[in-house]
Each structure stands twice: as structure tokens, then as C-alpha cells.
Amino acid sequence: MSGQSTRRPGELAFICLLVLFSAAALWQAYSISGFTGLSQPGVFPMLAAATMLVSCCFILRDTLRTRSSREPGHRAAFWRDVLPVRLLVMLAMVGIYLYAMPWLGFVIASGLFLFACFAYLWRKSFLISLILAATSLAAVYFLFRIVFEVVLPQGTLLPAGVF
């Protein structure tokens, strides 16, 4: 341990989620083929998930041994350190992007998403954000549509063949 005397905000909840995730991963790995032999397809995933679960249990034990910080401003520290406003805004933008993609299609939705992200996170001028988003989108379009010949999703609001 790094000499930490109190738990950081959200630390206990996070490690509890990791323990649950590790247990679910172990269960899923076991359901691949069970544990009937060392050469079965599920053995390596089970070993990896079991290692992850055991490690998480040790970390949970150490976390429970540290005392919880009940100082004034503890909740504010949680929101500031674990869920800052910028992260929540980005999660909302990702949700809107995923929701809009079936209607607008990949090219338009991705272009709007990139522009919004650059404008919000980088806080440069409108023109710089627009140029950067257009350049990034052109590179992605060229790589996937032209080079790899991937069919990008079309939106229902635009006629087929526009992009």
C-alpha cells in the first residue's frame, strides 16, 4: 500500500464493482466449456478471470482496512474527483451520438459528435474545431470506407448513397 490512511472518494464502491465484474467474468468463462480438461477452450479465460477475482478480493480487503473519510466536503470531493461535470457532459454527448446515429448515419452523426467534442473539450475557436472535426472525419472515412471498404451505416433521414 502507498501509505494512504483514508479511502479516496468512491474507492470502496469501485472495488466492489470490480469484484462483481470479475465474478461474472469467471462465470462466463466457466460457461464456455466448463472445467473438463486443461486443453478446453474455457481454461485460459477461467484462469484470467480467476486471477482477476483473487486480485480484486485482496484489494477489497486492503480497502476495507483503511478508514473512510467523513470529513466535510467528502461528497464534493467525490463529484470533483470521480464524476466531474466534463465527464458527465461527455457521457451525455456519447449517448446522444449513439441515439442519433441510426437516423443521421455514421458520417453526419460522427461529424457533429467530433465537432461538439472538440468545441467543448478543447475550447478553441469555432473554425478550428470545425476544421479539426472535418479533417478527422475525412481520415476515418478514407481509411474505413475507401481503404478497408467497410460499409458505413446510412441514416434513415438521408437518402441512400449520399455518403
Q: Which of 23, 51, 81 is the last residue of a domain?
A: 81
**Closest listed residue to residue 67, CA positions, set 10, 8, 14, 2:** 8
Total structural domains in the chain?
A: 2
Please say if the pLDDT value at position 161 is more than 80.
no
pTM, rounded to two decimals: 0.65
Based on the domain organization, do 76 and 16 belong to the same domain?
Answer: yes
Domain extent for 76 = 11-81
Can you state the angle between helices 11-33 and 43-65, rounded to 10 degrees?
160
The three grid cell numbers given for residue 163, joined into one nine-digit string: 455518403
Residues 36-92: tens digit of each pLDDT: 777 777 789 999 999 999 999 999 999 999 987 766 666 777 778 888 999 999 999
77 plus 130 within the same structural domain? no
Same domain for 71 and 108, yes or no, is no
110 lies in the same domain as 132 = yes
Question: CA 114 → CA 19, 94, 108, 137, distances in Å?
Answer: 35, 10, 10, 8
The pLDDT of residue 6 is above 90: no
What single letter denotes the amino acid at residue 30? Answer: Y
For residue 100, the one-letter residue type is A
Burial track 20-29 (b if 16+ CB lie within 10 A, e otherwise) = eebbebbeeb
**More confident: 8 or 19:** 19
Residue 43 maps to a domain? yes
Looking at residue 158, the DSSP 8-state letter turns out to be S
Do 153 and 102 contact (CB within 8 A), yes or no? yes
> For residue 161, is it within any domain?
no
Same domain, yes or no: 44 and 103: no
Rg (CA), the chain: 23
Using DSSP's 3-state secondary structure scheme, residue 67 falls into strand
Q: How far apart are CA 11 and CA 67, in angstroms?
A: 11
Residues 41 and 73 both lie in one domain: yes
